[in-house]
Structure 1
Amino acid sequence: MLPETLRYRVGNGKVVQERGWILLPPKLTSELVPEADRGPKPPKPTLKGYWKLFSYAPIGIVSVNTAILYSTYFAMLVALPHALEDVYHWSTTEIGLGYLAVGLALMIGSLVGGRSTAGFGMSWVFVATSAFLGECVPLQAAGAFALGNMLRNPGAAVSAVVYPLLVRKMGVGWFFTGFAVFDLVVVGGAVLVLRMYGPSWRKKKTANAPK
């Protein structure tokens, strides 16, 4: 239902530009533009290729950062029902309805948010991580995005496991204070590392690229 963005299939996107926000009826595959209008063909995905991407330091660092931030977000989702029940005395039904509101907002946002935020200019700063991954390997941007999301679920699983143990000892407030400090140190440190060593890593990668 959402428009295709792979340049190899849709070129500059003009083929879907004149259509509505939602493509109806849904299609299993998108239209293929003439060969002269297509972008470069992406490399075939392989496990070795993904490992090579991940072993490139900037992509690995950003992927780990994404996992850490997502684990914080997931810990908040795990903590939310306990806080709503213990502090605000919500019933199980009311807690479930609270999650439905978030889910509906995410569904609507996935359909209308892209166009509206791009038109407003919000995406210039809001998707900095995704843009960075795409610039690291322009011909394998989708693979870099996949790696950026790959560690999110393991990170979420770890945070869900350690949350009950640490909250019993530290309390909710100190748990999330510690998590916030951890995020600040690790993510902030990663930004400094990328700022200091990123140019040399990029120069080395360019020098080793096949001619």
Structure 2
Amino acid sequence: MTPISQDDDEGRQSDVSTSTETKIVGNKFDRQAPPPYSAFSPQRRRFILGIVTAAGFFGPLSGAIYLPALPLFESIFSASATAINATVSMYMAVFAVAPLLWAASADYGGRKTVYLVSLGIFNFANVLLASLPPNIGALFFLRVLQALGSCGVTSIGAGTVADITEPRRRASALSVFLLGPQIAPVLGPIIGGQFAVPERWRWVFGFLAIACFPVYCMIIFCLPETLRCLVGNGEVHANRGWISAPRFRQAQVVDSKDFPRMPRPNLKSFYRLLKYPPNLIVMISGAFLFAAFYSILITFPRALGDTYGFSEAEVGYAYLASGIPAVFGSLAGGRTSDFLRKRAVRQHGSENIPPERRISTQIYGYILSAAGLLMYGWFCRFHIHVSAALVASGIASFGMTWVFVTSSSYQTECFPTQAASQMALASLLRNVAAAIAAVIIDPLTSSMGFGWCFTGLALLNLLGVVGVLFIMNGTNFQKKFGREEAKPTLSGSKQVDQRK
């Protein structure tokens, strides 16, 4: 099969221990092992992973930390509840759409440049919000800047992880990276609640500026460019120190024939991702999954307050019941996904296997999440002990993050040169689904009751199982729809084109 222009070396690539290339030198055969997928040492890769994980924490955090202070901001900014709530809606709209622009830029022009610009905007907005006199117009404008600056780091970070981590370990690495976006929405209300008083409201934004600054400095001085079409496996940076002089842009130092560059960003490139059926199925199923879990978070104040008599502070700490299982679900899901891929490699004797071999593990996550939703709805309906409802929310959270880490790894293997764009599209669909859930969940629970409402959401989640089975047993999507086909080996500075 002839590759499309976005072909890259990331997908199902062999590791240095499993692949060699034979060269003829004179009359002798010189058998050489190709260079590793990433030239960075394991310690350096963990360091890079830590930086991008910390950066990915701020997007969801800046949205969640704001929520406890909404009633206070009505008096601070002399605005109605509708106007203050509109700042939340505008933030969510920008946070959903803008990552498409950042991700496309990062897939084409480099990761580090986008990190520097986006987080620079984020810090600038936070400093102004914390220091300017209260003004509702300024609040709208600076919240837009805040969302614009913070929204791209999750999708760009996933691209960075794909740049430095070979497929056989990628799900485990992504499971660590996704901890930031998954924990931040839970910790945000707890942190924000500490500042939701008239004397400390500016610290809602001051805390974000202070916490982000050291991460921004580490990106400036310690984060190398990793985009493979610019630096290949990173050998140009791997032999240098971990701290280097700031560089805004990275020139291309590898042959474009060996590490092809994706075309300039355009709508067609996003349409190409959406028209690939497994990709669309994974993203839509993930959107349903996230909307259902978000419905639990939205109903927490009413369910725990009205049904179980929790105070506002107690409701805030109750979010930990879903946040902690999310951590374990992500880590366990990533390791299980990598284990399945490793077993498939062992069975076939080759690293060049379809990424669909790792996706079967999602079935367990969808079933767990559906079970958690079902239990949560009926436990609240019949006023079962509050611990049962909290455990049910944790089960739903565990199942959701179990699915998401495998989805992320699978998608980055399907279209490796557009890894960041993949994550941005998935984030867009999830945020749209969550916004819809936020609007309709209260009317639904009021008219149907908690039990039947969450039963319906559980059934929507189970459609994800049908999608996984379709992907696993479907036709050859790669040949039909032109998915990127990875080149399995590298030699020297060049790739060897070995295709099925």
TM (norm. structure 1) is: 0.72
Measure, in 2, the Cα distance between the counterparts of 1:194 and 1:181: 19
Determine if contact 1:40/1:139 at 8 Å carries over to the other structure.
Answer: no
**Residue 40 in structure 1 maps to residue 286 in structure 2:** no
Note the C-alpha offset of 1:13: 4.2
Measure, in 1, the Cα distance between the counterparts of 2:473 and 2:335: 29
| Aligned positions, number | 192
In the alignment, what sits opposite 2:298? Answer: 78
Measure, in 1, the Cα distance between the counterparts of 2:255 and 2:41: 14
The one of 469, 473, 492 equivalent to 1:192 is: 469
| Percent identity between the two aligned chains | 29
**Residue 148 in structure 1 maps to residue 148 in structure 2:** no
Measure, in 2, the Cα distance between the counterparts of 1:121 and 1:208: 25
Note the C-alpha offset of 1:26: 1.1
The one of 14, 22, 31 equivalent to 2:224 is: 31
Determine if contact 2:278/2:471 at 8 Å carries over to the other structure.
Answer: yes
Determine if contact 1:58/1:198 at 8 Å carries over to the other structure.
Answer: no
Of 188-197 and 144-153, more deviation after overlay is shown by 188-197
SS in 1 for 2:220: coil
**Residue 92 in structure 1 maps to residue 309 in structure 2:** no
SS in 1 for 2:218: coil
- Aligned-residue CA RMSD in angstroms? 3.8
Measure, in 2, the Cα distance between the counterparts of 1:104 and 1:193: 31
Note the C-alpha offset of 1:37: 11
Whichever of the two has the greater Rg, that structure is 2
Deviations 1:101-122 (CA, angstroms, capped at 9, x unpaired): 479859xx5xxx98x769x934
Measure, in 2, the Cα distance between the counterparts of 1:208 and 1:26: 33
SS in 1 for 2:265: coil
**Residue 161 in structure 1 maps to residue 402 in structure 2:** no
Mapping 1:120-131, distance limit 5 Å? 121-124=335-338, 125=361, 126=402, 127-131=405-409
Q: Indicate how the Cα distance of structure 1 residues 62 and 104 shifts in structure 2: closer, same or farther if over 3 A, else same.
A: closer
Determine if contact 2:415/2:483 at 8 Å carries over to the other structure.
Answer: no
Deviations 1:37-79 (CA, angstroms, capped at 9, x unpaired): 9983552433221122112222122111111100001001111
**Residue 181 in structure 1 maps to residue 459 in structure 2:** yes
Measure, in 1, the Cα distance between the counterparts of 2:469 and 2:219: 44
In the alignment, what sits opposite 2:147? Answer: none
Determine if contact 1:71/1:156 at 8 Å carries over to the other structure.
Answer: yes
Of 59-68 and 47-56, more deviation after overlay is shown by 47-56
Q: Indicate how the Cα distance of structure 1 residues 134 and 117 shifts in structure 2: closer, same or farther if over 3 A, else same.
A: same
**Residue 57 in structure 1 maps to residue 277 in structure 2:** yes
2:471 counterpart letter in structure 1: L
Note the C-alpha offset of 1:167: 0.7
Note the C-alpha offset of 1:190: 1.8
SS in 2 for 1:90: coil
1:180 counterpart letter in structure 2: A
Measure, in 2, the Cα distance between the counterparts of 1:82 and 1:75: 12
Measure, in 2, the Cα distance between the counterparts of 1:144 and 1:98: 33
Measure, in 2, the Cα distance between the counterparts of 1:87 and 1:103: 18
SS in 2 for 1:27: helix
**Which structure has greater helix proportion?**
1
Note the C-alpha offset of 1:16: 5.6
Q: Indicate how the Cα distance of structure 1 residues 79 and 198 shifts in structure 2: closer, same or farther if over 3 A, else same.
A: farther
Q: Indicate how the Cα distance of structure 1 residues 82 and 148 shifts in structure 2: closer, same or farther if over 3 A, else same.
A: same
1:82 counterpart letter in structure 2: R
1:161 counterpart letter in structure 2: V
Q: Indicate how the Cα distance of structure 1 residues 198 and 74 shifts in structure 2: closer, same or farther if over 3 A, else same.
A: farther
Of 163-172 and 37-46, more deviation after overlay is shown by 37-46
The one of 129, 137, 141 equivalent to 2:415 is: 137
Determine if contact 1:42/1:140 at 8 Å carries over to the other structure.
Answer: no
Q: Indicate how the Cα distance of structure 1 residues 105 and 192 shifts in structure 2: closer, same or farther if over 3 A, else same.
A: closer
2:418 counterpart letter in structure 1: Q
In the alignment, what sits opposite 2:478? Answer: 202
Q: Indicate how the Cα distance of structure 1 residues 206 and 157 shifts in structure 2: closer, same or farther if over 3 A, else same.
A: closer
Q: Indicate how the Cα distance of structure 1 residues 208 and 128 shifts in structure 2: closer, same or farther if over 3 A, else same.
A: closer
Identify unmatched segments of 5+ residues in structure 2: 1-9, 11-35, 52-214, 226-233, 237-252, 339-360, 362-401, 486-500
Note the C-alpha offset of 1:171: 1.0
Determine if contact 1:134/1:144 at 8 Å carries over to the other structure.
Answer: yes
Q: Indicate how the Cα distance of structure 1 residues 46 and 191 shifts in structure 2: closer, same or farther if over 3 A, else same.
A: same
In the alignment, what sits opposite 1:15? Answer: 40
TM (norm. structure 2) is: 0.33
